[in-house]
Structure 1
Amino acid sequence: MLSLQLHRLQKYLWPFCLHVALLATSARGQTADYLVGRKQTVYNPSQLSDVQFLEYSNLSDGQHLREAVQNILIPRVVGTANHSIVRQYIVNSLRDLKWHVELNSFHDKAPIVGQLHFHNIIATLNPQAERYLVLACHYDSKYIPDVEFVGAIDSAVPCAMLLNLAKVLEEQLRPLQTAKLSLMLLFFDGEEAFEEWGPNDSIYGARHLAKLWEKQGKLDRIDMLVLLDLLGAPDPAFYSFFGNTELWFMRLADLEQRLAEKSLLERYVNSGVNNWDPTRYFQPQALRSGLVEDDHIPFLRRNVPVVHLIPMPFPSVWHTQHDNESVIDYATTNNLALIIRLFTLEYLLGAK
């Protein structure tokens, strides 16, 4: 990003050009076709009713979210003992909730450290489902010599949010264990570069899995990939990056607006430091002219629809030793977790 010093552009390439077109139309009452999957199937789930909205909005477990963060919040560089501990914690947490969990394991060579064993974690409610909404993040932490980097926003909080979603919505998601349209939680391994971000030193797990699933024909079962990254800091601003998922982005914005109107968001205020709309996370502009490199890229290049939930600009602690639990704003984190939970339920349970 131009907002970051150029020498720090190891992880993401971002020309940061703003496409100024406003996303003025609300997702409420939209009659336009919502497209999903590589074959662009029309799918337009109904909006949550007021009764459903209030019922699901009251579901939460903030203590579980904090505990999940703390269990993940250790240095977890690929190939270390801590990496195995965190992987096992994620796997056990989901299996305890009756999810089907499998590991996609493979070897690859990384600069500095050499041959490594990577493990993508794939959790599904129904492994035989015909279609999936996929929520994803990465669980490894960056290798920074002589620094104890725990990666709170990058990406312990997103991992904890997905585990918390599975916990909080355990009962509501149970019917999806036999549904044709179901939910997948995907925890990528090896997102971080070991030396310098590039095509062969980054997103190891995502590159491997996208290539494998294309060969196996499994990419066609993905309706949409929603990727979470760099979440947990206060005052995030999210933008729609891709035209083919813009209406889905606006559904997230609409859910945020409905929650705000009913005063169901915690401390829903902005610090005043940033210049974007102080009353919303999901911004009414689209960013089109830049590219944020992240785990979604191998899937995007294979025409999988993507919603990328990453704040712009990045939190100032990105890739520094200060990315620890002290930077987490749990009110913001709980708000985002709630919006994503409602989006997931609306998407999966709203089939007409």
Structure 2
Amino acid sequence: MSYIVTTLSITVLCFTFINTDTPLKFYQEKDFHEAQELTDENIKDIAQLSDRQQFKKVLDEILIPRVVGTPNHEKVGNYIANEMRGLGWDVTEDVFPEKTPVFGTLNFKNIIAKLNPNADRYLVLACHYDSKYTREHVFVGATDSAVPCAMMINLAAVMSKQLDKLKSSSPSLMFIFFDGEEAFRQWGPKDSIYGARHLAKMWHGTPYKDGANHLQRMDVLVLLDLLGCPDPVFYSYFKSTEKWYLRMATAEQRLAELGQMSVYSQGKAEQTYFRLSSSNAVIEDDHIPFMRRGERRYSSHNPESVPTNMAHGPRRYDSAGFQYHRQP
């Protein structure tokens, strides 16, 4: 997973704004962003920031059963918020009650961390931190989604010096750790993605300047889910953000060419993670409420993978990968 973290790190540092003589409202500026080229030395420096011990330390704190409403769930949520605060990010919590089909009304908590809380616009990385409830067995949800949570915290930690230089910039970075992604009984519109549904509705209904709402402050939403299995494969899902997907593919290619990927594949012929092809598959995940409220979006998933929970072997066939969405 360190290679994917490094690819994300390169993408984070690549945004640049092209000046225009036409007066723009803040939410229109995203249309004039292009990718900034990093030198080979820049990329090598970023790759050397990888810290697997720190990643494992974070993962160990999250990799426990954490069903909404349990002490473990509260423990993990508090850990994530405290880690991000300790790294100097501004952290707020979106706490709300909602009725569930198994446990009645539960309190959910989305965790929102901002590098620059005064920015108008954000590049958003997101995942979910709750784990699935089952009667049959204990479920720790390594790929779903302890690993993505650990990846995001690890990225913020290893890039702290680089990100400190960007603390007054706009667009800035926002990390969202969604709560309640998992269904309690059966996946459906009222029993799944509780946190994402609540946050998208709240931000869409909260006015901001220039006649916009808070949802329009999100330039791009990159959703990480079901990551952690060997040899993930990602595809471009949306034409509107394909150019940013291609930047991820280019970052991976340059990392490989510079010899920064020591172990690329596990027991297979060498393959790239980010494929130069697209897919029309529809994936139900935390991006859906944002997409339905007007976001243009990019996503890539790994339909070939069999995610494992690291401790108990294969658990189900599913997709693994990124969702990448853009607010118009």
Helix, strand or coil at the partner of 2:34: coil
Q: What is the distance in 1 between the residues matched to 2:34 and 2:93?
A: 32
Identity %: 49
Q: What is the distance in 2 between the residues matched to 1:309 and 1:81?
A: 34
Helix, strand or coil at the partner of 2:166: helix
Shift of 1:164: 0.0
| Equivalent pair of 1:141/1:151 in contact (CA under 8 Å) | yes
- Residue 59 (structure 1) aligns with: 49
Q: What is the distance in 2 between the residues matched to 1:327 and 1:160?
A: 20
| Equivalent pair of 1:233/1:315 in contact (CA under 8 Å) | yes
- Residue 234 (structure 2) aligns with: 238
- Residue 326 (structure 2) aligns with: none
Helix, strand or coil at the partner of 1:120: strand
Q: What is the distance in 1 between the residues matched to 2:41 and 2:215?
A: 35
Shift of 1:326: 6.5
Q: What is the distance in 1 between the residues matched to 2:312 and 2:257?
A: 30
- Amino acid in the other structure paired with 1:302: R
Q: What is the distance in 2 between the residues matched to 1:44 and 1:232?
A: 30
| Equivalent pair of 1:228/1:308 in contact (CA under 8 Å) | no
Shift of 1:247: 0.9
Q: What is the distance in 2 between the residues matched to 1:296 and 1:174?
A: 28
Shift of 1:327: 5.8
Shift of 1:325: 4.1
| Equivalent pair of 1:228/1:309 in contact (CA under 8 Å) | no
Q: What is the distance in 2 between the residues matched to 1:90 and 1:306?
A: 27
- Residue 271 (structure 2) aligns with: 279
Which of 247, 258, 274 matches 1:262?
258
Shift of 1:314: 4.3
- Between 218-227 and 304-313, the greater mean CA deviation after superposition: 304-313
Helix, strand or coil at the partner of 2:205: helix
| Equivalent pair of 2:97/2:108 in contact (CA under 8 Å) | yes
Helix, strand or coil at the partner of 2:235: strand
When residues 267 and 327 of structure 1 are mapped into structure 2, their CA distance, relative to the original with a 3 A threshold, is farther
Q: What is the distance in 1 between the residues matched to 2:48 and 2:313?
A: 26
- Residue 288 (structure 2) aligns with: 297
- Residue 221 (structure 1) aligns with: 217
**Larger relative contact order (Cα-Cα within 8 Å, sequence gap ≥ 6):** 1
In structure 2, list runs of 5 or more residues that go unmatched.
1-17, 19-25, 207-212, 315-320, 322-328
Q: What is the distance in 2 between the residues matched to 1:327 and 1:123?
A: 32
Q: What is the distance in 2 between the residues matched to 1:111 and 1:125?
A: 36
Helix, strand or coil at the partner of 1:177: coil
In structure 1, list runs of 5 or more residues that go unmatched.
1-32, 318-322, 329-335, 337-352
Shift of 1:61: 1.0
| Equivalent pair of 2:108/2:179 in contact (CA under 8 Å) | yes
Deviations 1:267-300 (A, max 9, x none): 112423xxxx842001121002x21000001111
TM-score when scaled to structure 1?
0.77
- Residue 208 (structure 1) aligns with: 198
Q: What is the distance in 2 between the residues matched to 1:83 and 1:280?
A: 35
Alignment of structure 1 residues 1-352 onto 2, 5 Å: 39=28, 41-216=31-206, 217-272=213-268, 278-288=270-280, 290-317=281-308, 323-325=309-311
Deviations 1:22-45 (A, max 9, x none): xxxxxxxxxxx9xxx975622103
TM-score when scaled to structure 2?
0.82
Q: What is the distance in 1 between the residues matched to 2:148 and 2:298?
A: 14
- Amino acid in the other structure paired with 2:50: S
Helix, strand or coil at the partner of 2:165: helix
Q: What is the distance in 2 between the residues matched to 1:121 and 1:309?
A: 24
| Equivalent pair of 2:35/2:247 in contact (CA under 8 Å) | no
